[in-house]
């Protein structure tokens, strides 16, 4: 029987106990969201419309890993590579055959958005037909080791998620800031017309943007799949997390997307401290709405 006067102390100790675990969970979630958000922002900056099929790239990669890794039994790193390639290739093909032609016909951003809705629907239905809509795990072949740090438990898979996400993010930012390609993309993002005039082959740049963005999103989907498994309906889940993180962090700013991703990761996991856990996904949305009302440009300014 815990005496009333002791309750606050008990609560405090409890909070102190699970704090590290919450931090770890936040970082894992943030890592996955980061890849999704950064890639979304990357493509959005260049194309200027909301591609609602972004989550689909992630799901394609995850299912590719499921197929090649679990069904065909290929080694994990190979399956992951194939998965990322599948996502990147899908992205570039979709742009080549759908988004690009639509833009050439003078399609408004709304038309592109609706077209991306069509793409989303098609990919979702195809995956459901091939693999079924039930939940599948894809990380069977990995030996799971358990670690503990400051009282927080995590698996080797989760450690990989964190590390891979960090490495890829850093690599991406280096490419963005330090390479010529990065500067070219920045120019096209800033003003496509002027870039064309200056002699940049914007079509090629767009293709590369989709390839890289799709690939990174794919990796995000794969890592999420390793953590919690896959399901066709994750395409909406990935999309929404990516978009919300990108907007909250600051649309048009790649670091903003990173910030937004970890922010959501933390707020979601710490949020269920105060509210029942089933409302976890709702947190991100409420945050989105709040930001859209009061600060639609997000935290960081557009680059």
Partner 1 sequence: MHLSVLVGVYAILGLSLNLVVGYSGLLSLAHAAFYGVGAYGSAILMKDFGFSFLSAVVLSVLITMAVGVLIGLVLSKFDGDYYALASLGFSVIAFGVFLNWRDLTNGAFGIFGIPKPEIFGYKFLAGEPYAFLVLLAVIFTFLICYFVVNSSFGRVLKAIREDEKALQVFGYKTTLYKLAVFVISAGLAGFAGTLYGSYISFIDPGGFDDLVSVNLIVVVILGGLASLNGSLLGAAFFVLLPELLRFVGMPDSITGQMRQMIYGLGLIALMMYRPQGILGKFRL
Residues forming the site for partner 1 (CB under 8 A): 49-50, 98, 101-102, 105, 107-115, 117-126, 128-129, 233, 236, 240, 243-244, 247, 276, 278-279, 281-282, 285-286, 288-289, 292-293, 296
Residue 113 or 142: the one with the smaller Cβ distance to partner 1 is 113
Give the Å distances, CA to CA, from 36 to 17, 29, 49, 196.
31, 11, 16, 29
The answer to whether 204 touches 100, Cβ cutoff 8 Å, is no
- Shortest Å, Cβ 110 to partner 1: 4
Residue 89 or 128: the one with the smaller Cβ distance to partner 1 is 128
Short-list 213, 211, 237, CA closest to 224: 237
Positions of E strands within 52-173 = 146-149, 152-155
- Shortest Å, Cβ 237 to partner 1: 9
Helix (H, G, I), strand (E, B) or coil at 155: strand
Helix (H, G, I), strand (E, B) or coil at 299: coil
**What is the rounded CA–CA span in Å between residue 29 and residue 162?**
9
Residue pointed to by tokens 């996400």: 165
Residue 50 or 67: the one with the smaller Cβ distance to partner 1 is 50
Residue 118 or 151: the one with the smaller Cβ distance to partner 1 is 118
Cα 20 off chain centre by = 24
- Shortest Å, Cβ 13 to partner 1: 29
Short-list 81, 35, 56, CA closest to 257: 35
Residue 23 or 113: the one with the smaller Cβ distance to partner 1 is 113
- Shortest Å, Cβ 163 to partner 1: 31
- Shortest Å, Cβ 117 to partner 1: 6
């Amino acid at each position: 029987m815990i005496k009333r006067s002791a309750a606050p102390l008990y609560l405090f100790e409890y909070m102190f106990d699970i704090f590290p675990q919450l931090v770890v969970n936040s970082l894992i979630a943030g890592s996955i969201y980061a890849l999704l958000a950064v890639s979304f922002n990357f493509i959005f900056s260049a194309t200027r419309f909301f591609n609602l099929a972004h989550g689909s790239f992630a799901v394609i990669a995850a299912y590719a890993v499921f197929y090649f890794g679990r069904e065909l039994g290929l080694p994990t790193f190979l399956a992951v590579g194939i998965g990322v390639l599948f996502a990147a290739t899908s992205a570039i093909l979709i742009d080549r055959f759908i988004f690009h032609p639509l833009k050439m016909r003078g399609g408004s951003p709304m038309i592109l958005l609706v077209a991306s809705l069509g793409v989303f629907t098609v990919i979702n239905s195809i995956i459901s037909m091939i693999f079924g809509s039930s939940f599948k795990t894809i990380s069977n072949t990995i030996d799971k080791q358990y670690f503990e740090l400051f009282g927080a438990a995590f698996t080797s898979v989760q450690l990989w998620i964190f590390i891979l996400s960090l490495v890829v993010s850093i690599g991406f930012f280096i490419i963005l800031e330090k390479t010529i390609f990065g500067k070219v993309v920045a120019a096209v993002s800033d003003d496509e017309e002027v870039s064309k005039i200056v002699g940049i082959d914007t079509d090629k740049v767009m293709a590369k943007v989709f390839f890289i963005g799709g690939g990174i999103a794919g990796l995000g989907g794969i890592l999420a799949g390793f953590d919690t498994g896959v399901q066709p309906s994750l395409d909406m889940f990935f999309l929404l997390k990516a978009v919300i993180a990108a907007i909250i962090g600051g649309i048009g700013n790649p670091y903003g997307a990173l910030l937004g991703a970890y922010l959501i990761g933390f707020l979601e996991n710490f949020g269920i401290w105060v509210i029942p856990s089933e409302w976890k996904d709702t947190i991100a949305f409420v945050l989105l709405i709040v930001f859209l009302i009061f600060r639609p440009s997000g935290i960081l300014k557009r680059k």
